[in-house]
Amino acid sequence: MTLIAASTAPNAKANSGVIDGEVELALKGVPEFSEPFTSSVSGAFALREGAELPDYALEIGARNYGVTLTSVGGRSYVTVGTTAYELPASIRRRLVRNAGTGGNGLTRTLRQFGVRPWHWETEERIAGTETIDGVQTTHLRTSFNAGRMLRDANTLLGVLRSLGITRAVGLPPAITARARRLFVGAVTSKAGESWFGVADKLRRKSGFTMKVRVPRADQAALGGITGGTVMGRLTTSELGRPQQISAPTRIGSFEDFRLALDALGDAQEAKGG
C-alpha cells in the first residue's frame, strides 16, 4: 500500500482533529477575478461510531463571505453572525452522500467539500523527512490529475450552491464538462507536495500550484479567462485529540437565511451587469 493510500485507511487517530484549507484563484481576463479569489474551510471535527456524518464546526469562506457549517447529533446547521439555521434534509443528504463511508473521520470530513488530494495525486516520490508541529513526517513531491481535481471542485460548488453562496459571491454553479476539458488542456505546469506522519501515516500538510495559459480560440468558452494560477493548501493538526463540538443555541428560519442570500445574489448580479 502506498503512503497516500495508507493515509485514507481506517485509523482511530484520524477520527478527530482540526483542518485548515484554502484554494486561491488568480485568473486573468475576467473582471470578476481582477483580484485573487479565495475559498476556505477550517475547524474541528470528530467522528462518532455509527454516525452518518462526522460532528464538526467548520468556517466556510468564499471571497468576502463566510458562514459556519455545523454538524452535531444528527443535525446540520449554517450560522451567520449569532444566528444558526437548520439545514433542510435535502442539503444534509448531499453532505452525507459526499462524505461517503469507510476511510476515517479526516477523509470523510474533507470529502464533503471535494477535498480529496489522495484522489488527484500522481507520480509520488519521496523528497525527504521533516518535523511538523513536533511530528516526524515523510515529505512527498507529486504531480496530480487536473481533471479529477476539477470534478471534485464541482462537489464544493454543489455545497455552496445548495446554500445559495455561489450566486451571492459570483461563482458559477458548476464547471461544465467542456470547460473542464478546455481548462485541463490549457495547463502549462502543475506540482504538488504532501507530508505524512512517519508513525501514523496520516496527512499532515499538502499543497499544489497549477498554471494555465488559455489559447485564444478557447477563451470565450472559458468566460474570457486568458490564463492564471490556482494554488491550494491544507494542514491538519490535533489529530486524535478530543474536540468539543456543540450545537448552536439561537436558531432562525432557514427561509430567512435563503432570503438574505438571494438579496446578496441580486446585488452581485446587478454589480456584474
For the chain, the distance separating the N- and C-terminal CA atoms, rounded to the nearest angstrom, is: 52
Give the C-alpha separation, 27 to 224, whole Å: 10
Q: pLDDT > 70: what percent of the chain?
A: 99
Give the C-alpha separation, 28 to 45, whole Å: 36
Confidence of residue 91 (pLDDT cuts 50, 70, 90): very high
State which residues form the domain around 145.
Answer: 3-272
Lowest mean pLDDT among 96-105, 196-205, 225-234: 96-105
Pairwise pLDDT comparison (150 vs 269), residue with the higher score: 150
Cell of 110: 474533507
Q: What is the pLDDT of residues 54-72, one digit of tens each?
A: 999 999 998 888 999 999 9
CA 185 to mean position of chain CA atoms:
23
Q: What average pLDDT does this structure show over 206-232?
A: 97
Confidence of residue 109 (pLDDT cuts 50, 70, 90): very high
In the three-class reduction of DSSP (H, G, I as helix; E, B as strand; rest coil), residue 104 is classed as coil
The phi and psi torsions of 192 (rounded to 5 degrees) equal -140, 170
Q: pLDDT > 90: what percent of the chain?
A: 84
Answer yes or no: is pLDDT of 273 > 70: no
What pLDDT is attached to residue 243? 97
Cell of 16: 478527530
Lowest mean pLDDT among 31-40, 95-104, 112-121: 31-40
Q: At what angle do helices 146-163 and 177-185 cross, to 10 degrees?
A: 140
Of 47, 21, 29, the closest CA to residue 203 belongs to 21
What pLDDT is attached to residue 158? 95
Give the C-alpha separation, 235 to 272, whole Å: 35
Which residues touch 251 (CB under 8 Å, ≥6 apart)?
A: 77, 83, 84, 85, 86
Confidence of residue 187 (pLDDT cuts 50, 70, 90): very high
Cβ(45)–Cβ(240) under 8 Å?
no
Of 145, 153, 126, the closest CA to residue 137 belongs to 126
Query: What is this structure's pTM?
Result: 0.93
What pLDDT is attached to residue 63? 84
Pairwise pLDDT comparison (84 vs 266), residue with the higher score: 84
pLDDT mean across residues, the chain: 94
Confidence of residue 272 (pLDDT cuts 50, 70, 90): low
Q: What is the pLDDT of residues 18-50, one digit of tens each?
A: 999 999 999 999 987 878 999 999 999 999 999
Q: What average pLDDT does this structure show over 86-113?
A: 95
Which residue is associated with the grid cell 484549507?
21
Helices (H), the chain: 3-6, 89-99, 105-111, 117-120, 146-163, 165-169, 177-185, 216-219, 254-272
Give the C-alpha separation, 186 to 173, whole Å: 22
Answer yes or no: is pLDDT of 271 > 50: yes
User: What total number of domains does the chain contain?
Assistant: 1
